[in-house]
Structure 1
Amino acid sequence: MKNNWSCFYRCILTALLLISSVANASELSDRFHEYQQALKENDADKIATAAKSVFSVVENYPKNNKNFAAASLNYGKALMGLGKFEDAEIYAKKSLESHRKIYGDKGVQLIDPLLVLAEIRARDVYSNRNGGYRRYIEDALDIAKENDGKDSLLFARVNLEAGKITLNYAKERRAHTYLEVAHTAFYGPHKKDTYGRFYSSFYLGKYYLSRNLYKKAEPLLAEALDVVDVENGKDGQLELTTRAFLVETYDKLGQKEKSIEQCRAIGKATPFNMDQELVPLFNRVAEYPTSALEFRREGYAIAQFTISDSGFAEDIEILETKGASSFGDAAKKYLEQARYAPRFVDGAPVDTPDRKVKFNFNLAD
Structure 2
Amino acid sequence: MVLAFVIVLRERQLLKTQLLTLLVILFLPSQVLAQSTADLQDFNSAYLEYANTRNSNPDLAREAARRAYNIGRRIFGEANERIAMLAINYAILLTDETESQSVLDEAVTIYQEIFGFGNEAMIDPLSNLGQMLADFDRTHLASQYYVRSLELARTHFGEDSSKVGAIYLELGAVALRAEQFDTAHSRITDAREILYSSTDPAARSNLVRADLLLGDYFLKTRQYEQAIEPLLLSLESLSRYPNADITLRNRIALIEAYENLGRSEESTVHCLFIGASRAFRGNERLQPLYTVVPDVADFTGISDQRDDLRIAFTVDEEGFVRDPVVISSIDSEI
Structure-2-length-normalised TM-score: 0.69
Give the CA deviation at 1:264: 0.8
The equivalent of 1:172 in structure 2 is 181
Equivalent residue, structure 2, for 1:277: 285
Q: Could you state the TM-score of these two structures normalised by the residue count of structure 1?
A: 0.64
Distance in 1 between residues matched to 2:61 and 2:317, nearest whole Å: 46
Q: Secondary structure at the match of 2:159?
A: coil
The 8 Å contact of residues 205 and 221 in structure 1, kept in 2 or not, is answered as: yes
Aligned to 1:217, which of 227, 241, 245? Answer: 227
- Answer whether contact 2:50 2:64 (CA < 8 A) is retained: no
Instruction: Tell me the CA shift for residue 318 of structure 1.
Output: 4.2
Name the structure 2 match of 1:259: 267
Counterpart secondary structure, 1:279: coil
Residue 120 of structure 1 deviates from its aligned partner by 5.7
RMSD value, Cα? 4.2
Mapped to 1, the partners of 2:296 and 2:330 lie a distance apart of 14
User: Residue 27 of structure 2 aligns to which amino acid in structure 1?
Assistant: S
Larger radius of gyration: 2
* Contact 2:134–2:174 under 8 Å retained in 1: yes
1:36 CA displacement: 11
Give the conservation status (yes or no) of the 8 Å contact 1:228–1:235.
no
Distance apart, 1:281 and its partner CA:
0.6
Instruction: Judge conservation of contact 1:204–1:220 (CA < 8 Å) in 2.
Output: yes
Q: 1:57 to 1:234 in 2, by over 3 A?
A: same
For residue 195 of structure 1, the aligned residue among 205, 214, 217 is 205
Give the structure 1 partner of residue 86 of structure 2.
Answer: 71
**Is 1:57 the equivalent of 2:68?**
yes
After superposition, residues 1-365 of structure 1 pair within 5 angstroms as 20-23=26-29, 24=32, 34=48, 44-45=55-56, 53=64, 55-60=66-71, 61=73, 64-77=79-92, 79=93, 86=95, 90-91=99-100, 93-103=102-112, 106=118, 107-108=122-123, 109-114=125-130, 116-117=132-133, 135-190=144-199, 192-193=201-202, 194-230=204-240, 233-234=241-242, 236-286=244-294, 297=305, 300-319=308-327
Corresponding residue SS for 2:222: coil
Q: What amino acid sits opposite 2:217 in the alignment?
A: Y
What letter is aligned with 2:69?
A: V
Shift of residue 27 of structure 1? 5.0
The offset of 1:286, in angstroms, is 5.0
Task: Tell me by how many angstroms 1:293 deviates.
Answer: 10
Q: 1:252 Cα deviation (Å)?
A: 3.4
Task: Name stretches of at least 5 consecutive residues in structure 1 with no aligned partner.
Answer: 1-15, 80-84, 329-365
What amino acid maps onto 2:238 in structure 1?
V
Alignment-mate amino acid for residue 183 of structure 1: R
Aligned residues: 292
**In the alignment, is the contact (CA less than 8 A) between 1:115 and 1:140 conserved in 2?**
no
Are 2:225 and 2:261, in contact at CA under 8 Å, matched by a contact in 1? yes
Give the Cα–Cα distance (whole angstroms) in 2 for the partners of residues 170 and 117 of structure 1.
16
Q: How many percent identity over aligned positions?
A: 20
Return 5+ residue gaps in structure 2 as ranges: 1-21, 33-38
Deviations 1:185-225 (A, max 9, x none): 22222453243122111111111122222232112112222
| Larger CA deviation: 65-74 vs 86-95 | 86-95
CA contact (8 A) 1:244 1:282 kept: yes
Richer in helix (by share): 2
Tell whether the 8 Å contact from 2:47 to 2:64 is kept in structure 1 after alignment.
Answer: no
